[in-house]
């Protein structure tokens, strides 16, 4: 009997430890966006996004501080936070979703996989379902995830005043680059 208990306990602890090993993590995820038109470049970069990826289930989560976006022009950064994103009211943006039909990834052998993702994107306090293509590349035990998709600002109730509307493109391109490492 005691042996059985011990065995079962062993099993559960093994189950827990495998769970932990499946999770890949980054604190320096790069999220870029391009919202400008031919009149003006409106580009922001955030190098401090945190993200987790479960390589077994394909689940993933991203979160970032809106204030950490940097711009080439200081005033643009101020307007981004004050007028458009209202970053005091909505300090975070996040994405929670999964890779549909997650390929069997062996993190010990290099390779790359084209995948589809879907989930909920929260910007400016508004949550919308989105889908986006992505590419996962395994190299030396690290996983690089890259995705490129477009959103429409008005979907997230980000208002652009008429006077500057021509400076904005209709759709905002978002580029995600995350280099994940196993979570210790």
Task: Report the interface residues with other proteins, using CB under 8 A.
Answer: 1, 4-5, 8, 12, 15-16, 19, 23, 25, 27, 45, 48, 50-52, 54, 57, 59-63, 65, 67-68, 70-75, 77-79, 81-83, 86, 88-89, 91, 94, 96, 161, 163-164
- We find the least distance from the C-beta atom of residue 86 to other proteins, in angstroms, to be 8
CB of 121 to other proteins, least distance (A): 13
* 89 versus 129: smaller Cβ distance to other proteins: 89
> Which CB, 52 or 179, lies closer to other proteins?
52
Return the number of other C-beta atoms located less than 10 Å from residue 53's C-beta: 25
Bridge partners, residue 99, by sequence: 117
Report in angstroms how near the CB of residue 83 gets to other proteins at its nearest. 5
Q: Rounded to an integer, what is the distance from CA 55 to the centroid of its chain?
A: 15
In sequence order, what are the residues at sequence separation of 6 or more whose Cβ sits closer than 8 angstroms to the Cβ of residue 131?
116, 117, 118
- C-beta of 15 vs 104, nearer to other proteins: 15
| Least distance from other proteins to the Cβ atom of residue 18, Å | 10
**Encoded tokens for 65:** 């501080």
Distance CA 141, CA 124 (A): 35
- Please, which residue, 50 or 148, has the CB nearer to other proteins? 50
Smallest CA-to-CA distance from 63 within 74, 81, 50 is with 50
Output the smallest distance, CB 130 to other proteins, in A.
16
Cα atoms found within 13 Å of the Cα of residue 98, Cβ hemisphere only: 10
Strands (E), 55-167: 59-65, 92-100, 111-123, 126-139, 142-151
Q: How far is the CB of 43 from other proteins (least distance, A)?
A: 10
How far is the C-alpha of 56 from the C-alpha of 26, rounded, in Å?
17
Question: Please, which residue, 40 or 173, has the CB nearer to other proteins?
Answer: 40
Taking the least distance from each CB to other proteins, the nearer of 111 and 166 is: 166
């Amino acid at each position: 009997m005691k042996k059985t208990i011990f065995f079962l306990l062993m099993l559960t602890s093994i189950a827990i430890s495998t769970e932990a090993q499946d999770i890949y993590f980054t604190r320096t995820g790069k999220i870029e966006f391009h919202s400008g038109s031919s009149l003006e470049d409106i580009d922001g970069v955030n190098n401090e996004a945190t993200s987790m990826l479960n390589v077994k289930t394909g689940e993933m989560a991203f979160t970032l501080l809106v204030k950490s976006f940097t711009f080439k022009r200081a005033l643009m950064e101020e307007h981004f936070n004050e007028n458009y994103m209202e970053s005091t009211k909505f300090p975070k943006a996040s994405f929670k979703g999964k890779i549909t039909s997650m390929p069997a990834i062996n993190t010990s052998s290099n390779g790359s996989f084209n995948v589809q993702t879907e989930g909920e994107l929260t910007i400016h306090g508004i949550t919308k379902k989105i889908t986006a293509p992505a590419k996962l590349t395994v190299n030396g035990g690290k996983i690089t995830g890259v995705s490129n998709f477009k959103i429409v600002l008005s979907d997230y109730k980000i208002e652009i005043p008429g006077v500057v509307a021509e400076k904005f493109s209709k759709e905002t391109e978002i580029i995600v680059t995350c280099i994940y490492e196993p979570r210790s």
